[in-house]
Amino acid sequence: RGLFLATVVSNARLCRDHFRLVLSMADFPPTAPGQFVQINCQARCETADEPAEHAWRSESDPGLRTRSLVGPLPLLRRPFSLAGDRPGPAGGTTRLLEIIGRAIGVGTSRLAMLAPGETLDLIGPLGNSFPMPSAGQAALLVGGGVGIPPMIYLAEAVAKLGNPAIAIAGVTTVDFLPLTCDDNIRPSAELPSLCAGEFSRFGVPTLIASDDGTVGLRGLVTDALARVLDSQRLAADRVVIYTCGPERMMRAVTELATSRGIRVWVAMERAMACGIGTCQSCVCKVRRLDQSDWSYKLVCTDGTIFDGREIVW
């Protein structure tokens, strides 16, 4: 891992709040599904904006009016899971990283507005990665909201192995769906279909669930997961579940998987100040299956991928 300067190749809006950012970098290390990067969301300061000295205008007002002192700034880097990683078009050592984010604050809103050719710096690749399914084992990829992007990268890796896979995406409403749906294939409320371009390009069908029923199945993502498990009739040892999204969702997915004896891997999400284990802020409780006591683990370095059965929710 290291600090890298990235150039924006493209930046497209996917829905009301979500955007897809493609970044180009030279000599970026190999990555794997489940890993993440820490992105600096601050705009680069011009010398003229940041004088070396500030005039003291009065006894009560030092006159500090520069942007870095009075404007809202994203001081900490933001963690983003990888939605894809591929070689650059010119070959060589250039890599293209795909990031899908949601603009909800000053930092992510700036990323959503970046234009091709602009630059930013990031730290990565960080964290561990999803264990791949065994030969012939089916993979169910359960993502909710901004937990959907790492499932896209995982779908590509599983498809390359030749394992069958089904993506299950959950959103509150269609306006928050960070996927490109095919106009000719309407998302089904019953069965997975090749309706989402991000997954269908790897031959992976998708079942979408929305809380309000505006797209796909009306209900929770766990309702969609149960429907897929019942319809596929796979033995517990022939399927593995991967999930990322809101913690309550992942807990429900883990409980459903555990009740059926199915292995489940979760990508935990936390606010991270550093992403490299220094700040000790992104902890979660973990209990080994053969032990009664729990301990704290760092999501950034011990994870972000954990055995869902070991998480103390």
Chain segment 126-154, per-residue pLDDT in tens: 999 999 999 999 999 999 999 999 999 99
Report pLDDT for 291.
82
Report pLDDT for 288.
85
In angstroms, the CA 19 to CA 84 distance is 14
Report pLDDT for 73.
79
Residues of the chain with pLDDT under 70: 44-71
Report pLDDT for 59.
67
Which tokens in the block code for residue 313? 């929710």
In angstroms, the CA 4 to CA 124 distance is 8
Report pLDDT for 63.
59
Report pLDDT for 265.
98
In angstroms, the CA 48 to CA 51 distance is 6
- Dihedral pair phi/psi, residue 153, rounded to 5°: -65, -40
Helix (H, G, I), strand (E, B) or coil at 169: strand
Q: For residue 89, is the peptide bond before it cis, meaning its omega torsion is within 30 degrees of 0?
A: no
- For 26-39, the pLDDT digits (tens) are 999 999 999 999 99
Report pLDDT for 292.
84
- For 183-212, the pLDDT digits (tens) are 888 888 889 999 999 999 999 999 999 999
- Residue 301 CB burial class (10 angstroms; 0-12, 13-18, ≥19): middle
Report pLDDT for 298.
96
